[in-house]
Amino acid sequence: MTILRAGSTVEYVVTWLEMTERPGWPWPAPPAGMEGALLRADDPPVWYFRAMYDAVGQDYDWTDLHATPEEELRTWLHDPDVAMYTLMGHGWPHGFFVLDWRTKDVCELAYFGLVPQVIGRGLGQWLLRTAILTGWSHEGVTRMTVNTNTLDHPRALANYQKHGFVVIGRETRSRTLARDRDPSRIPD
């Protein structure tokens, strides 16, 4: 696979998805052998969010928030209608998700992902189902949204669709890569 160098311009497709009914499945049991906990971060510091954002998104060009001022991120993270959850295992973070209920009747799954070292261990389905049900458990939610793009993990779109999200829009965009992108580093 070809390494795309920082400074290269790439085209990618953003896909927006929604879910208009709470899924009928029950709260998922943690995967067999999982040792850890899902913790809600109360008023997380910006550095912590950025650390998780970078740890999960390092291979997918998650760089958009690097230019966002710290105070803007702090205000968002500390909003009572925004919640960040971290999956901890063996003393270190395995993944995270952020739910945003600031729009009336809508829960946006704003961020979701696992660090590369734990992909393929069966944690993703459990974490996504837990994120979805947590989003729907907020009073008044009638719709849940998420977006992904072709720079994300190759299974991201199919995984969201498998869990009940339906595509509502697509747009082709281009961007300049902030760092080298090595597709061989992306775990299956």
Sorted by where each starts, the structural domains of the chain and their CATH numbers stand as 9-22+40-185 (3.40.630.30)
| 1 confidence band (pLDDT: 50, 70, 90) | low
pLDDT tens per residue across span 86-141: 999 999 999 999 999 999 999 999 999 999 999 988 899 999 999 999 999 999 99
> How many whole angstroms from its chain centre is CA 84?
10
pLDDT tens per residue across span 131-174: 999 999 999 999 999 999 999 999 999 999 999 999 999 999 99
Query: Residue 7: phi, psi to the nearest 5?
Result: 95, -15
For residue 120, give Cα distances in angstroms to 89, 123, 152.
15, 7, 16
pLDDT at position 184 is 74
Is the pLDDT assigned to residue 183 strictly greater than 90? Answer: no
pLDDT at position 95 is 97
10 Cβ contact partners less than 8 Å away, ≥ 6 residues apart: 4, 151, 174, 175, 177, 181
Sheet containing 143-149: order of strands:
36-41, 82-89, 92-100, 106-114, 143-149, 9-19, 166-176
CA distance 149 to 43: 28
Mean pLDDT of the chain: 95
pLDDT at position 188 is 66
Is the pLDDT assigned to residue 185 strictly greater than 90? Answer: no
pLDDT at position 31 is 85
